[in-house]
Amino acid sequence: MKEKSGFHAARRCNVCLLVLACLSLSTVFGYAQNSDNSDIPLAKTIDSILDAPAFHTAFEGVFIQRLRDRRVLYERNADRVFLPASNNKILTSLAALVELGPTYTYHTTLLAAGHLTRDGVLHGNLIIKGSGDPTLTDADLQKMAEEARKQGLRRVLGTLLYDDSLFDRQWLGDVWAWDDEPYYYSAEISALNVDGNLITVHLMPGKKVGAPVRVEISPIANYVRVENLGVTGPSKSQNTLFCTRLEGRNVLLITGQLPRDIKSSDEPTVRLTIVDPARYTATILLNDLQKEGIHFDHTRLVDISQEPNDAVTLADHTSAPLSTILRLMNKPSNNLIAECLLKTVGAKATGKGTGGIDGSAVQTARHIFQQAGLIMDEIRQADGSGLSRINFVSPHDLVLALSYLAEQPYFDVFYDSLPIAGVDGSLYYRMKGTAAAENCHAKTGYVSQVNTLSGYVTDKDGDRIVFSIMFNNCLAPYSTCTAAQDQIVETLANWSDTKTALKRP
Protein backbone atom coordinates (compact mmCIF):
# COMPACT_ATOMS: atom_id res chain seq x y z
CA MET A 1 0.00 0.00 0.00
CA LYS A 2 2.79 2.39 0.85
CA GLU A 3 4.50 1.54 -2.43
CA LYS A 4 1.29 2.29 -4.41
CA SER A 5 0.72 5.56 -2.51
CA GLY A 6 4.33 6.58 -3.22
CA PHE A 7 3.80 5.81 -6.92
CA HIS A 8 0.73 8.12 -7.11
CA ALA A 9 2.54 10.87 -5.19
CA ALA A 10 5.47 10.66 -7.57
CA ARG A 11 3.07 10.68 -10.53
CA ARG A 12 1.29 13.79 -9.19
CA CYS A 13 4.67 15.44 -8.72
CA ASN A 14 5.68 14.63 -12.30
CA VAL A 15 2.39 16.07 -13.59
CA CYS A 16 3.03 19.29 -11.66
CA LEU A 17 6.55 19.48 -13.05
CA LEU A 18 5.21 18.94 -16.58
CA VAL A 19 2.69 21.77 -16.14
CA LEU A 20 5.41 24.07 -14.85
CA ALA A 21 7.64 23.10 -17.75
CA CYS A 22 4.87 23.90 -20.23
CA LEU A 23 4.32 27.28 -18.61
CA SER A 24 8.05 27.93 -18.82
CA LEU A 25 8.15 26.92 -22.48
CA SER A 26 5.27 29.27 -23.23
CA THR A 27 7.51 32.11 -22.04
CA VAL A 28 10.50 30.97 -24.06
CA PHE A 29 8.70 30.18 -27.31
CA GLY A 30 6.59 33.27 -27.60
CA TYR A 31 3.19 32.88 -25.97
CA ALA A 32 1.68 36.03 -24.53
CA GLN A 33 2.20 36.81 -20.88
CA ASN A 34 -0.47 39.45 -20.40
CA SER A 35 -1.02 41.32 -17.17
CA ASP A 36 -4.28 41.34 -15.20
CA ASN A 37 -5.03 44.80 -16.62
CA SER A 38 -4.72 43.72 -20.25
CA ASP A 39 -7.70 43.90 -22.54
CA ILE A 40 -8.70 40.29 -23.34
CA PRO A 41 -10.36 40.93 -26.75
CA LEU A 42 -7.40 43.12 -27.76
CA ALA A 43 -4.96 40.43 -26.62
CA LYS A 44 -6.80 37.76 -28.61
CA THR A 45 -6.69 39.92 -31.74
CA ILE A 46 -2.95 40.52 -31.41
CA ASP A 47 -2.32 36.85 -30.61
CA SER A 48 -4.12 35.84 -33.80
CA ILE A 49 -1.85 38.14 -35.82
CA LEU A 50 1.38 36.93 -34.22
CA ASP A 51 0.42 33.25 -34.24
CA ALA A 52 0.03 33.13 -38.02
CA PRO A 53 1.86 30.15 -39.59
CA ALA A 54 4.18 32.51 -41.48
CA PHE A 55 5.86 33.37 -38.17
CA HIS A 56 6.51 29.85 -36.91
CA THR A 57 10.29 30.41 -37.09
CA ALA A 58 10.16 33.89 -35.61
CA PHE A 59 10.99 35.07 -32.12
CA GLU A 60 8.49 37.85 -31.37
CA GLY A 61 8.60 40.49 -28.67
CA VAL A 62 5.79 42.94 -28.03
CA PHE A 63 5.08 45.45 -25.28
CA ILE A 64 2.11 47.83 -25.45
CA GLN A 65 1.24 50.35 -22.77
CA ARG A 66 -1.13 53.28 -22.39
CA LEU A 67 0.98 56.32 -21.66
CA ARG A 68 -1.18 58.28 -19.20
CA ASP A 69 -1.54 55.55 -16.56
CA ARG A 70 1.09 53.01 -17.68
CA ARG A 71 -1.59 50.34 -18.09
CA VAL A 72 -0.08 47.35 -19.91
CA LEU A 73 -2.42 46.40 -22.72
CA TYR A 74 -0.39 43.52 -24.15
CA GLU A 75 2.97 41.84 -23.74
CA ARG A 76 4.78 38.92 -25.27
CA ASN A 77 8.43 38.16 -24.46
CA ALA A 78 8.59 41.79 -23.37
CA ASP A 79 11.69 41.36 -21.21
CA ARG A 80 13.62 39.16 -23.63
CA VAL A 81 16.29 40.93 -25.67
CA PHE A 82 16.15 41.31 -29.44
CA LEU A 83 18.25 42.73 -32.25
CA PRO A 84 16.62 46.15 -32.68
CA ALA A 85 17.97 47.10 -36.13
CA SER A 86 17.17 50.81 -36.60
CA ASN A 87 14.94 50.90 -33.51
CA ASN A 88 18.36 51.44 -31.95
CA LYS A 89 18.04 55.03 -33.20
CA ILE A 90 15.40 55.62 -30.51
CA LEU A 91 18.12 55.05 -27.92
CA THR A 92 20.57 57.25 -29.83
CA SER A 93 17.94 60.00 -30.02
CA LEU A 94 17.40 59.79 -26.27
CA ALA A 95 21.12 60.01 -25.52
CA ALA A 96 21.62 62.94 -27.92
CA LEU A 97 18.68 64.95 -26.61
CA VAL A 98 19.76 64.50 -22.99
CA GLU A 99 23.49 65.11 -23.49
CA LEU A 100 23.45 67.68 -26.31
CA GLY A 101 20.03 69.31 -26.18
CA PRO A 102 17.71 70.15 -29.11
CA THR A 103 19.50 73.41 -29.99
CA TYR A 104 22.97 71.82 -30.28
CA THR A 105 24.87 72.66 -33.49
CA TYR A 106 28.07 71.40 -35.10
CA HIS A 107 30.88 73.70 -36.24
CA THR A 108 33.30 72.94 -39.07
CA THR A 109 36.13 75.47 -39.07
CA LEU A 110 38.69 76.63 -41.62
CA LEU A 111 41.78 78.03 -39.90
CA ALA A 112 44.92 79.82 -41.03
CA ALA A 113 48.07 78.78 -39.15
CA GLY A 114 50.75 81.35 -39.87
CA HIS A 115 51.02 84.97 -40.93
CA LEU A 116 48.59 86.15 -43.62
CA THR A 117 50.05 89.14 -45.47
CA ARG A 118 48.09 92.05 -46.93
CA ASP A 119 48.55 90.68 -50.42
CA GLY A 120 46.88 87.40 -49.43
CA VAL A 121 49.87 85.12 -48.91
CA LEU A 122 49.61 82.70 -45.98
CA HIS A 123 53.06 81.88 -44.61
CA GLY A 124 51.95 78.60 -43.15
CA ASN A 125 49.20 76.03 -43.54
CA LEU A 126 45.45 76.03 -43.91
CA ILE A 127 43.52 73.72 -41.57
CA ILE A 128 40.02 72.27 -41.69
CA LYS A 129 38.78 71.06 -38.31
CA GLY A 130 35.76 68.81 -37.90
CA SER A 131 33.40 68.44 -34.95
CA GLY A 132 31.51 65.40 -36.20
CA ASP A 133 28.88 67.08 -38.38
CA PRO A 134 27.24 64.28 -40.40
CA THR A 135 25.25 66.74 -42.54
CA LEU A 136 28.12 68.74 -44.09
CA THR A 137 27.94 68.96 -47.89
CA ASP A 138 30.21 69.92 -50.76
CA ALA A 139 28.09 73.07 -51.15
CA ASP A 140 28.98 73.98 -47.54
CA LEU A 141 32.67 73.47 -48.31
CA GLN A 142 32.35 75.67 -51.41
CA LYS A 143 30.91 78.45 -49.25
CA MET A 144 33.83 78.10 -46.85
CA ALA A 145 36.25 78.37 -49.80
CA GLU A 146 34.41 81.49 -50.99
CA GLU A 147 34.64 82.99 -47.51
CA ALA A 148 38.38 82.29 -47.37
CA ARG A 149 38.82 84.26 -50.59
CA LYS A 150 36.69 87.09 -49.20
CA GLN A 151 39.06 87.17 -46.22
CA GLY A 152 41.83 87.94 -48.70
CA LEU A 153 43.47 84.51 -49.04
CA ARG A 154 45.18 84.04 -52.43
CA ARG A 155 48.14 81.76 -51.82
CA VAL A 156 49.18 79.17 -49.23
CA LEU A 157 52.90 78.55 -48.94
CA GLY A 158 52.26 75.38 -46.99
CA THR A 159 49.49 72.84 -47.56
CA LEU A 160 46.03 71.86 -46.36
CA LEU A 161 45.89 70.06 -43.02
CA TYR A 162 42.83 68.28 -41.65
CA ASP A 163 41.84 67.48 -38.07
CA ASP A 164 39.33 64.72 -37.33
CA SER A 165 40.75 63.93 -33.89
CA LEU A 166 37.52 64.56 -31.95
CA PHE A 167 36.51 60.99 -32.85
CA ASP A 168 38.58 57.84 -32.92
CA ARG A 169 39.37 56.21 -36.25
CA GLN A 170 37.15 53.21 -35.82
CA TRP A 171 35.46 54.05 -39.09
CA LEU A 172 33.09 51.07 -39.01
CA GLY A 173 30.97 49.81 -36.13
CA ASP A 174 31.51 46.61 -34.17
CA VAL A 175 30.21 43.50 -35.96
CA TRP A 176 28.96 45.24 -39.08
CA ALA A 177 28.50 42.94 -42.09
CA TRP A 178 31.72 43.07 -44.15
CA ASP A 179 29.85 42.65 -47.44
CA ASP A 180 27.76 45.77 -46.72
CA GLU A 181 30.86 47.97 -46.63
CA PRO A 182 30.53 49.53 -50.14
CA TYR A 183 26.88 50.46 -49.78
CA TYR A 184 25.42 53.82 -48.76
CA TYR A 185 23.94 52.59 -45.48
CA SER A 186 27.38 51.49 -44.19
CA ALA A 187 29.26 54.77 -44.66
CA GLU A 188 32.41 55.20 -42.56
CA ILE A 189 32.22 57.35 -39.42
CA SER A 190 34.45 60.37 -38.85
CA ALA A 191 34.59 63.73 -37.12
CA LEU A 192 35.03 65.20 -40.62
CA ASN A 193 32.37 64.07 -43.12
CA VAL A 194 30.99 65.34 -46.41
CA ASP A 195 28.04 64.31 -48.59
CA GLY A 196 27.31 61.34 -46.36
CA ASN A 197 30.84 60.03 -47.13
CA LEU A 198 29.58 58.82 -50.50
CA ILE A 199 30.48 59.19 -54.15
CA THR A 200 27.95 59.10 -56.96
CA VAL A 201 28.79 56.92 -59.97
CA HIS A 202 26.86 57.39 -63.22
CA LEU A 203 27.32 54.72 -65.90
CA MET A 204 26.63 55.17 -69.62
CA PRO A 205 27.14 53.00 -72.72
CA GLY A 206 30.08 53.64 -75.02
CA LYS A 207 29.67 54.85 -78.59
CA LYS A 208 29.85 51.38 -80.12
CA VAL A 209 29.32 47.75 -79.16
CA GLY A 210 32.32 46.36 -77.30
CA ALA A 211 33.52 49.78 -76.13
CA PRO A 212 34.08 50.33 -72.39
CA VAL A 213 31.15 51.86 -70.56
CA ARG A 214 31.58 55.52 -69.74
CA VAL A 215 31.93 56.51 -66.09
CA GLU A 216 31.15 59.83 -64.40
CA ILE A 217 32.00 60.29 -60.72
CA SER A 218 30.93 63.18 -58.51
CA PRO A 219 31.61 65.35 -56.59
CA ILE A 220 35.24 64.62 -57.51
CA ALA A 221 36.75 61.84 -59.63
CA ASN A 222 40.32 61.81 -58.39
CA TYR A 223 39.69 60.27 -54.97
CA VAL A 224 39.02 56.77 -56.27
CA ARG A 225 40.63 54.53 -58.88
CA VAL A 226 38.38 52.79 -61.39
CA GLU A 227 38.87 49.27 -62.73
CA ASN A 228 36.46 49.41 -65.65
CA LEU A 229 35.72 45.97 -67.09
CA GLY A 230 32.22 46.96 -68.14
CA VAL A 231 31.48 46.90 -71.87
CA THR A 232 28.77 48.21 -74.18
CA GLY A 233 26.44 45.43 -75.28
CA PRO A 234 24.31 45.11 -78.43
CA SER A 235 20.99 46.92 -78.61
CA LYS A 236 18.21 45.16 -76.68
CA SER A 237 20.74 43.00 -74.83
CA GLN A 238 20.43 42.36 -71.12
CA ASN A 239 21.79 44.90 -68.65
CA THR A 240 24.23 42.95 -66.46
CA LEU A 241 26.34 45.88 -65.32
CA PHE A 242 27.58 45.77 -61.72
CA CYS A 243 29.53 48.44 -59.85
CA THR A 244 31.04 48.10 -56.38
CA ARG A 245 33.96 49.26 -54.26
CA LEU A 246 36.64 46.79 -53.27
CA GLU A 247 36.80 46.04 -49.56
CA GLY A 248 38.97 48.51 -47.61
CA ARG A 249 40.18 50.30 -50.77
CA ASN A 250 39.16 53.35 -52.75
CA VAL A 251 38.95 51.25 -55.90
CA LEU A 252 35.78 50.86 -57.94
CA LEU A 253 35.21 47.66 -59.90
CA ILE A 254 32.80 47.72 -62.85
CA THR A 255 31.85 44.49 -64.62
CA GLY A 256 29.16 43.24 -67.01
CA GLN A 257 27.55 44.93 -69.98
CA LEU A 258 25.22 47.84 -70.64
CA PRO A 259 22.97 47.82 -73.75
CA ARG A 260 23.98 50.39 -76.34
CA ASP A 261 20.38 51.59 -76.76
CA ILE A 262 19.53 51.97 -73.06
CA LYS A 263 17.43 55.08 -72.36
CA SER A 264 19.29 57.86 -70.58
CA SER A 265 16.66 57.73 -67.82
CA ASP A 266 17.53 54.06 -67.26
CA GLU A 267 21.30 54.53 -67.09
CA PRO A 268 22.44 53.22 -63.72
CA THR A 269 23.52 55.60 -60.98
CA VAL A 270 24.90 54.17 -57.74
CA ARG A 271 26.09 55.75 -54.51
CA LEU A 272 29.05 54.04 -52.89
CA THR A 273 31.01 54.64 -49.71
CA ILE A 274 34.63 55.78 -49.56
CA VAL A 275 37.54 54.96 -47.25
CA ASP A 276 38.86 57.66 -44.88
CA PRO A 277 36.13 60.33 -44.82
CA ALA A 278 38.36 63.06 -43.34
CA ARG A 279 40.86 62.80 -46.18
CA TYR A 280 37.99 62.72 -48.64
CA THR A 281 36.56 65.93 -47.15
CA ALA A 282 39.96 67.62 -47.30
CA THR A 283 40.40 66.52 -50.93
CA ILE A 284 37.07 68.09 -51.92
CA LEU A 285 37.85 71.29 -49.98
CA LEU A 286 41.26 71.59 -51.65
CA ASN A 287 39.56 71.31 -55.03
CA ASP A 288 37.01 73.99 -54.02
CA LEU A 289 39.74 76.34 -52.78
CA GLN A 290 41.69 75.95 -56.01
CA LYS A 291 38.52 76.72 -58.01
CA GLU A 292 38.34 79.98 -56.03
CA GLY A 293 41.78 80.87 -57.35
CA ILE A 294 43.67 80.08 -54.13
CA HIS A 295 47.06 78.57 -54.98
CA PHE A 296 48.81 75.98 -52.81
CA ASP A 297 52.58 75.58 -53.05
CA HIS A 298 52.15 72.03 -51.71
CA THR A 299 49.11 69.82 -52.22
CA ARG A 300 49.99 66.81 -50.08
CA LEU A 301 47.21 66.56 -47.49
CA VAL A 302 48.33 65.93 -43.91
CA ASP A 303 46.25 64.91 -40.90
CA ILE A 304 46.90 66.52 -37.51
CA SER A 305 45.46 66.13 -34.03
CA GLN A 306 45.98 69.65 -32.67
CA GLU A 307 46.05 73.14 -34.17
CA PRO A 308 48.86 75.65 -33.48
CA ASN A 309 48.03 78.27 -30.87
CA ASP A 310 48.29 81.07 -33.42
CA ALA A 311 45.69 79.59 -35.80
CA VAL A 312 42.89 82.03 -36.64
CA THR A 313 39.45 81.33 -38.10
CA LEU A 314 38.85 82.24 -41.74
CA ALA A 315 35.47 80.52 -42.12
CA ASP A 316 33.08 78.62 -39.91
CA HIS A 317 30.14 76.50 -40.98
CA THR A 318 27.34 76.00 -38.45
CA SER A 319 25.02 73.03 -38.93
CA ALA A 320 21.28 72.96 -38.45
CA PRO A 321 20.26 72.36 -34.81
CA LEU A 322 19.87 68.86 -33.39
CA SER A 323 16.09 69.24 -33.66
CA THR A 324 16.48 69.29 -37.45
CA ILE A 325 19.25 66.68 -37.55
CA LEU A 326 17.03 64.20 -35.68
CA ARG A 327 14.45 64.49 -38.45
CA LEU A 328 17.16 63.84 -41.03
CA MET A 329 18.15 60.74 -39.06
CA ASN A 330 14.86 59.18 -38.00
CA LYS A 331 12.54 59.74 -40.94
CA PRO A 332 14.75 58.10 -43.62
CA SER A 333 16.73 56.10 -41.02
CA ASN A 334 20.14 57.60 -41.79
CA ASN A 335 22.89 55.46 -40.26
CA LEU A 336 25.81 57.90 -40.57
CA ILE A 337 23.91 60.58 -38.66
CA ALA A 338 23.14 58.10 -35.89
CA GLU A 339 26.77 57.01 -35.58
CA CYS A 340 28.08 60.57 -35.50
CA LEU A 341 25.47 61.65 -32.95
CA LEU A 342 26.40 58.85 -30.57
CA LYS A 343 30.12 59.60 -30.85
CA THR A 344 29.32 63.30 -30.33
CA VAL A 345 27.58 62.33 -27.09
CA GLY A 346 30.76 60.57 -25.99
CA ALA A 347 32.96 63.46 -27.11
CA LYS A 348 30.92 66.05 -25.22
CA ALA A 349 31.05 64.00 -22.03
CA THR A 350 34.68 62.89 -22.16
CA GLY A 351 36.52 65.00 -24.73
CA LYS A 352 36.73 62.27 -27.39
CA GLY A 353 34.12 60.14 -29.12
CA THR A 354 35.17 56.51 -29.21
CA GLY A 355 33.21 53.57 -30.62
CA GLY A 356 32.42 50.05 -29.48
CA ILE A 357 30.71 48.66 -26.41
CA ASP A 358 33.41 50.00 -24.07
CA GLY A 359 33.83 53.33 -25.90
CA SER A 360 32.93 56.73 -24.52
CA ALA A 361 29.87 56.99 -26.77
CA VAL A 362 28.09 53.86 -25.54
CA GLN A 363 29.23 54.23 -21.94
CA THR A 364 27.92 57.80 -21.77
CA ALA A 365 24.66 56.65 -23.30
CA ARG A 366 24.34 53.83 -20.77
CA HIS A 367 24.61 56.32 -17.93
CA ILE A 368 21.79 58.32 -19.54
CA PHE A 369 19.65 55.20 -19.95
CA GLN A 370 20.12 54.33 -16.30
CA GLN A 371 19.05 57.84 -15.25
CA ALA A 372 16.01 57.50 -17.52
CA GLY A 373 14.90 54.36 -15.70
CA LEU A 374 15.65 51.73 -18.33
CA ILE A 375 16.29 48.15 -17.20
CA MET A 376 20.04 47.97 -17.67
CA ASP A 377 20.41 44.20 -17.93
CA GLU A 378 17.94 44.26 -20.85
CA ILE A 379 20.00 46.53 -23.05
CA ARG A 380 23.36 46.39 -24.81
CA GLN A 381 24.16 49.08 -27.34
CA ALA A 382 27.15 48.58 -29.62
CA ASP A 383 26.62 51.39 -32.15
CA GLY A 384 24.35 54.31 -32.89
CA SER A 385 22.50 53.09 -35.96
CA GLY A 386 21.51 49.48 -35.27
CA LEU A 387 23.70 47.91 -37.97
CA SER A 388 25.69 45.93 -35.41
CA ARG A 389 24.67 42.35 -34.79
CA ILE A 390 25.53 42.69 -31.09
CA ASN A 391 22.97 45.37 -30.25
CA PHE A 392 20.31 43.96 -27.94
CA VAL A 393 17.32 45.54 -26.23
CA SER A 394 13.96 44.38 -24.90
CA PRO A 395 10.58 45.69 -26.12
CA HIS A 396 9.96 46.74 -22.51
CA ASP A 397 13.08 48.93 -22.51
CA LEU A 398 12.14 50.57 -25.80
CA VAL A 399 8.73 51.45 -24.37
CA LEU A 400 10.41 52.80 -21.24
CA ALA A 401 12.65 54.98 -23.43
CA LEU A 402 9.68 56.22 -25.47
CA SER A 403 7.69 56.90 -22.29
CA TYR A 404 10.59 58.82 -20.74
CA LEU A 405 10.94 60.96 -23.87
CA ALA A 406 7.21 61.69 -23.76
CA GLU A 407 7.67 63.33 -20.34
CA GLN A 408 10.48 65.67 -21.41
CA PRO A 409 10.12 69.32 -22.48
CA TYR A 410 11.74 68.47 -25.82
CA PHE A 411 9.28 65.64 -26.58
CA ASP A 412 7.82 67.44 -29.60
CA VAL A 413 11.29 67.53 -31.15
CA PHE A 414 11.59 63.75 -30.91
CA TYR A 415 7.96 63.04 -31.81
CA ASP A 416 8.18 65.21 -34.94
CA SER A 417 11.39 63.45 -36.00
CA LEU A 418 9.67 60.07 -36.29
CA PRO A 419 8.17 58.77 -39.54
CA ILE A 420 4.40 59.29 -39.74
CA ALA A 421 2.27 56.44 -41.06
CA GLY A 422 1.13 57.07 -44.62
CA VAL A 423 2.78 60.50 -44.67
CA ASP A 424 6.57 60.49 -44.75
CA GLY A 425 9.87 58.76 -44.09
CA SER A 426 10.10 54.99 -43.88
CA LEU A 427 6.35 54.77 -43.08
CA TYR A 428 5.26 56.66 -46.20
CA TYR A 429 3.74 53.60 -47.90
CA ARG A 430 2.38 51.96 -44.77
CA MET A 431 -1.05 52.07 -43.07
CA LYS A 432 -2.54 54.40 -45.68
CA GLY A 433 -6.30 54.72 -45.46
CA THR A 434 -6.50 53.34 -41.91
CA ALA A 435 -7.08 54.85 -38.48
CA ALA A 436 -3.29 54.71 -37.97
CA ALA A 437 -2.55 56.93 -40.97
CA GLU A 438 -1.41 60.44 -39.99
CA ASN A 439 -1.66 59.16 -36.42
CA CYS A 440 1.11 56.67 -35.76
CA HIS A 441 4.60 58.15 -35.24
CA ALA A 442 7.11 55.29 -35.08
CA LYS A 443 10.63 54.17 -35.88
CA THR A 444 11.08 51.30 -38.29
CA GLY A 445 13.98 48.85 -38.25
CA TYR A 446 15.24 46.21 -40.65
CA VAL A 447 18.27 44.02 -41.18
CA SER A 448 18.19 40.45 -42.49
CA GLN A 449 15.67 38.37 -40.53
CA VAL A 450 14.97 41.30 -38.20
CA ASN A 451 11.96 43.62 -38.48
CA THR A 452 10.99 46.10 -35.76
CA LEU A 453 8.55 48.95 -35.19
CA SER A 454 8.31 51.06 -32.03
CA GLY A 455 6.54 54.32 -31.34
CA TYR A 456 3.22 55.96 -30.56
CA VAL A 457 -0.37 55.78 -31.77
CA THR A 458 -3.49 57.49 -30.43
CA ASP A 459 -6.54 55.27 -29.72
CA LYS A 460 -10.25 56.00 -30.16
CA ASP A 461 -10.43 57.55 -26.68
CA GLY A 462 -7.72 60.08 -27.51
CA ASP A 463 -5.14 58.31 -25.34
CA ARG A 464 -1.59 57.88 -26.58
CA ILE A 465 -0.43 54.26 -26.73
CA VAL A 466 3.28 53.40 -26.63
CA PHE A 467 4.32 50.18 -28.34
CA SER A 468 7.27 48.07 -29.45
CA ILE A 469 6.86 45.19 -31.90
CA MET A 470 10.01 43.17 -32.63
CA PHE A 471 10.55 40.19 -34.93
CA ASN A 472 13.85 38.28 -34.88
CA ASN A 473 14.80 35.06 -36.72
CA CYS A 474 11.89 35.71 -39.06
CA LEU A 475 12.14 33.88 -42.38
CA ALA A 476 8.82 35.25 -43.61
CA PRO A 477 9.00 37.90 -46.35
CA TYR A 478 9.64 41.48 -45.29
CA SER A 479 6.16 42.49 -46.45
CA THR A 480 4.54 39.80 -44.28
CA CYS A 481 6.29 41.13 -41.17
CA THR A 482 5.43 44.76 -41.85
CA ALA A 483 1.81 43.83 -42.62
CA ALA A 484 1.53 42.13 -39.21
CA GLN A 485 3.03 45.15 -37.45
CA ASP A 486 0.67 47.45 -39.32
CA GLN A 487 -2.33 45.30 -38.35
CA ILE A 488 -1.38 45.56 -34.68
CA VAL A 489 -0.94 49.34 -34.85
CA GLU A 490 -4.21 49.73 -36.75
CA THR A 491 -5.93 47.62 -34.08
CA LEU A 492 -4.54 49.95 -31.40
CA ALA A 493 -5.70 53.02 -33.32
CA ASN A 494 -9.23 51.57 -33.38
CA TRP A 495 -9.18 50.38 -29.78
CA SER A 496 -11.33 51.95 -27.09
CA ASP A 497 -11.25 51.26 -23.37
CA THR A 498 -14.98 50.77 -22.80
CA LYS A 499 -14.81 51.43 -19.06
CA THR A 500 -12.86 54.64 -19.55
CA ALA A 501 -15.03 55.76 -22.45
CA LEU A 502 -18.24 55.32 -20.44
CA LYS A 503 -16.93 57.57 -17.69
CA ARG A 504 -16.26 60.44 -20.07
CA PRO A 505 -18.92 63.10 -20.81
Q: Catalytic residues, which ones?
A: 86, 89, 333
C-alpha closest to that of 139 among 252, 218, 215, 217: 218
DSSP-based three-state secondary structure for 153: coil
Using the Cα atoms of residue 238, residue 244, residue 246 and residue 247 in order, give the sign of their dihedral: negative
Give the containing element (helix H, strand E) for 467.
strand 464-472
Alpha carbon distance, N-terminus to C-terminus of the chain:
69
User: DSSP label at 259?
Assistant: E
How far is it between the farthest Cα atoms of the chain? Answer: 115
Measure the CA–CA gap between 435 and 25, rounded to whole angstroms.
36
Q: Give the DSSP per-residue string, 23-53.
A: HHHHHHTT-----TTS-HHHHHHHHHHHTSG
CB atoms inside a 10 Å sphere around CB 45: 17
CB 460 within 8 A of CB 436: no
Measure the CA–CA gap between 9 and 338, rounded to whole angstroms.
60
User: Which residues touch 463 (CB under 8 Å, ≥6 apart)?
Assistant: 66, 67, 68, 497, 500
CB 347 within 8 A of CB 360: yes
Q: What count of Cα atoms within 13 Å lies in the side-chain half-sphere of residue 19?
A: 6
Radius of gyration of the chain (CA): 28
User: Which residues touch 105 (CB under 8 Å, ≥6 apart)?
Assistant: 318, 319, 320, 321, 322
Give the burial class of 412: count Cβ atoms within 10 A of its Cβ; 0-12 exposed, 13-18 middle, 19 or more buried.
exposed
The angle that helices 88-99 and 360-371 make with each other, rounded to 10 degrees, is 80
Measure the CA–CA gap between 136 and 130, rounded to whole angstroms.
10
Using the Cα atoms of residue 352, residue 355, residue 357 and residue 362 in order, give the sign of their dihedral: positive
**E strands within 177-259?**
198-204, 214-218, 225-228, 231-233, 242-245, 251-255, 257-259
Instruction: Using DSSP bridges, classify how beta strands 160-163 and 121-129 pair: parallel, antiparallel or unpaired.
Output: parallel
CB 417 within 8 A of CB 326: yes
Q: Measured between alpha carbons, how far is residue 81 from residues 64, 179, 472 in Å?
A: 16, 26, 10
